[in-house]
Chains A and B, each alone.
Chain A
Amino acid sequence: MDIMTIISNAAGELIAPTTAAYVLAAIGLNIHFGMTGLMNMGQAGFMLLGAYGFAITQSMGCNLFASVCAALALAVIYALLLGIPTLKLGPDYLAMVTLAAAEIIRIIGRSTAMTNFTGGSAGISPQDFTEKFESLSPLPDGSTTFLLWTYSNNIANSWWLRIVAWVLVVIAALLCWRWFHSPWGRMLKGIREDENAIRSLGKPVTRYKMESLILGGLFGAIAGIIFVLPRSVQPDSLGRTVTFYVWTILLLGGAATILGPVLGSCVLWVLLTFVKEIMRNTVPETLISSNQIEALGWVIVGVALMCLVIFRPQGLLGDRKELAFHA
């Protein structure tokens, strides 16, 4: 494999639907953490619920709109269930509850007892839920080459999915930009900076936090749908590690910024793919197997997350003063 293939593979991550899904999840997390200071450690839970809500209703034969609504409704209910007991408590409590709840969803989803419903750990295969989405595409059949990349127009990991995903990202970023500069957004920032001050103004702090949790969760659910469309719904692929990835992306790009999640996701995936491809092509298989390269990729992400938080908590774009790490 020559250097061009490596570069085009790595650059392909730039527009991959998975990258967009992570952007959307990170935007949701940005509303939680960047704007409101909520430590949501279970963004993958929102994503998995969204994915299940969408895929299960699709496989039951609902139309696309109803399925998306189902996914969003699940996320809202989930956020309410999580938020009511924990939002009054300290930040570490919310962190633990969201983490545990996301894990509960995954464990229940992958349980053999739920096989009829969620497909157990094997999950829901794409032909059961992607058909309606693919048939909605206005693009002709076949595949198209654009610059370096060739993808199918409509099927699976397609141009159609890329277009939809990135349009959603643009919409989400615009909405965020509006919200960040609205009175509501300023209220959230106030809560992030000093909850008691806001409370002293007679504002219902817990309600605002709840709104933030729900809104960010909705983005998480949409991210979940985009995440599973090019593959299948597998509970284990949306585990804790996805949450940690999303955190890395958000902190890399910069919390409390509009473009931080976008930049973070693109940089992380392109760099990670690049490093892994380079290693695959230069290090002989006998020395380091491909599984080990996969593991090394994770080690890199972990170390990157540590270094980021220690040395540059504001990330690439953020403002250190705006950083919302309150113990």
Chain B
Amino acid sequence: MTAVTYLTRHRRPGIVILCSIVAVLSMLFVLPPAIASAADSGAQAVDECNPTASNGCVNGILQDADKKPIADVTITLSGKATAETKTAADGKWAFSVADDGDYTVTIDASVAQEHGLKASSATVTIRKASFDKQRGVVRFDQAGDSAGSGTSGTSGSSGSANGTKGATGTSGSTAATQSPVKKDGSNVGKRIWQQLYSGIIFGLMLGLMSVGMNLVYGTTGLQSFSHGEQVTLGGLMAYVGTQMLHMPLIASAIFAIVIGALTGFIQNEIVWGPLRRRHVGTMQQMIVTIGLSMALQYTFQFFFGGDIKGIVKSVPDSFQLGPITTDMPTLVSALIAICVIVGVTLFLYKTRLGRATRAVSDNAALAAASGINVDQVVRVVWILSCAMAALSGVLLGVYLNGISWNTGATLILLMFAAVTLGGLGTANGALIGSLVIGIVADMSSLVIPNDMRYASALAILIIVLLVRPQGIFGKQQRVG
């Protein structure tokens, strides 16, 4: 819990990043890597800018209050270097800068007033080495730092968004989690460490999801396809907490976990419990989870729309940890994940209820015969597993700077891969499996194209089934 408190403290209003930028940014990253030539001139205007080891970017899209692009406005860059450019027809503008430091971007005050912008200048800090400060995105449509924390933004979804400057690198969607450190050749070693690190972090979060999923499988024999939606639910509820109800992050996280646990309880009571009592086969139940997953996923889309929702608006300061660039929330998230997983392991091995859970896992009929209340155990397992999924959704949302309606759905196969790799029905196996899957997925982007990296994780799933279908920790007799 202290860890969560730390996260909250970290939401300093000073360093601000806007979630709406995230969408813009992730679009920018999709663009093919452009020529990075603007190395030695101090700063120059470019059409499109991609940060590399030798240059940073200051860029943005100039829009009026109604989000319409403003073309042909002169943008002046000052600070460490000076340059000037005009916005393109779609409002885009960019400077490529060579030196680290603070840059101020200015537009004519009359233009700002005419288009209903709240500021006419903004300052960003560029640090090339730090992967979330390589690029500074400037916005003029929100109140400046000096204007205090302007609430109730123009777009209802980003209520408490405030501030004029944002500098972010790793942004957004599950698809764009890569550090934008471009392939340089010179820092291959560094990239390996960085990818290993992000793989471990990802693996830990995956572990949080798949341990719960595996507990459900162990006790009920059900492969839940809707577990991914439980993750999404957690993230979205945290978003509701921080951005709609304006609660601090810690309270929102607890809110999300409580909601998650509640859904676990409710669905066990009204769906899975009755189905088990009617002796509906697990395969049949699995198809029910598919239906549930579809229904939930599109319910999320119905209410939250198709874009990425940022749980926290600030991008924290990153720092160097040996060869790795990281930031505090990431470390704290990892720590929480480890604590929870250790806690669940202790629960399974040291408490009465935990032993009962493992007994049900081994042989439900025998457990029932020896006086264990199987229904009670399954209920606890459902609640626990959904609460863990919700927590992982929150952590993932903080780590990836946002969560969208299908985040969980993209991860469900990786969870399956992790669970199968570790051994179906074994709690510890799921953790090890998740770490392996996370590391492989992130490390494989060193050798194969980045957008194929999940494929490598799924390939592992198939290879495991080929050579050791029971997984690393599984028991032989289950198979076949």
CA distance A97 to B421 in the complex (A): 12
Chain A residues near B305 (CB-CB < 8 A): 291
Q: Which of A111, A251, A296, A304 contacts B298 (CB 8 A)?
A: A296
How near does chain A come to B364, taking the closest CB pair, in angstroms?
A: 13
Question: Contact: B283 with A91, CB < 8 Å?
Answer: yes
Within 8 A of B (CB), among A93-116: 93, 95-97, 99-101, 103-104, 107-108, 110-113
In the complex, the answer to whether B287 meets A247 with C-beta atoms within 8 Å is yes
Residue of B nearest to A81 (CB): B462
Q: Which residues of chain B have C-beta atoms less than 8 A from A325's C-beta? A: 281, 283-284
Give CA–CA (A91, B223) in the complex, Å.
12
Contact of B459 among A91, A104, A296 (CB under 8 A): A104
**Which DSSP category, helix, strand, loop or mixed, fits chain B's interface?**
helix
**Chain A contacts for B459, CB-based, 8 A:** 104
Question: Does B465 lie within 8 Å of A97, measured CB to CB?
Answer: yes
Pick the interface stretch among B177-185, B203-211, B447-455. B447-455
Q: Which of B271, B290, B479 has the most CB of A within 10 A?
A: B290
A327 in contact with B420 (CB, 8 Å):
no
Given the complex, which residues of B lie within 8 Å of A103, measured CB to CB?
Answer: 413, 454-455, 458
- The answer to whether A309 and B287 touch across the interface, beta carbons within 8 angstroms, is yes
Q: How far is the CA of A291 from the CA of B307 in the complex (A)?
A: 12
Question: How many whole Å from A103's CB to the nearest CB in chain B?
Answer: 6
List chain B residues, Cβ under 8 A from A144. Answer: none
Nearest to B282 among chain A residues (CB) is A327
- Tell me the interface secondary structure of chain A in the complex: helix
Report whether B281 and A327 are in contact in the complex, using a CB–CB cutoff of 8 Å: yes
Given contacts A111-B449, A247-B287, contact A96 B420 (CB under 8 A): yes
User: Shortest beta-carbon distance, B476 to chain A, in Å?
Assistant: 12
Looking at chain B, what size class is its interface with the partner chain? 35 or more
B302 and A292 contact, CB distance less than 8 A: yes
- Given A112-B451, A309-B287, also A291-B413 (CB < 8 A): no
Q: Please, how many residues of chain A have a CB less than 8 angstroms from a CB on the other chain?
A: 50
- Please determine whether A90 and B480 come into contact, CB atoms closer than 8 angstroms: yes
**How far is A11 from B284 in the complex, measured between Cα atoms in Å?**
31
Contact A305 B479 (CB under 8 A): no
B466 at the interface (CB under 8 A from A): yes
Interface flags, B442-470, vs A, CB<8A=1, else 0: 00000011011011001101100110010
CB B212 to nearest CB in A, in angstroms, measures 18
Complex interface: chain A residues within 8 A of B424 (CB): 92
> CB distance A313 to B284 under 8 Å?
yes
Cβ-neighbour of A107 out of B281, B288, B290, B454 (below 8 A): B454
CA distance A241 to B290 in the complex (A): 10
Closest 7 CB pairs of A and B: A302-B295, A302-B294, A305-B291, A306-B291, A298-B298, A113-B449, A85-B466
- 11 sample A-B contacts, Cβ–Cβ < 8 Å, listed by A number: A85-B462, A86-B465, A89-B480, A99-B416, A100-B413, A100-B458, A107-B458, A108-B455, A302-B296, A304-B291, A306-B291
Task: Point out residues on A near B: beta carbons under 8 Å.
Answer: 39, 85-86, 88-93, 95-97, 99-101, 103-104, 107-108, 110-113, 240-241, 244, 247-248, 251, 291-292, 295-299, 301-310, 313, 325-327
Given A91-B283, A107-B458, A305-B294, 12 extra CB contacts under 8 A: A90-B480, A92-B286, A95-B286, A96-B420, A96-B461, A100-B461, A103-B455, A291-B306, A301-B291, A302-B290, A306-B271, A313-B284
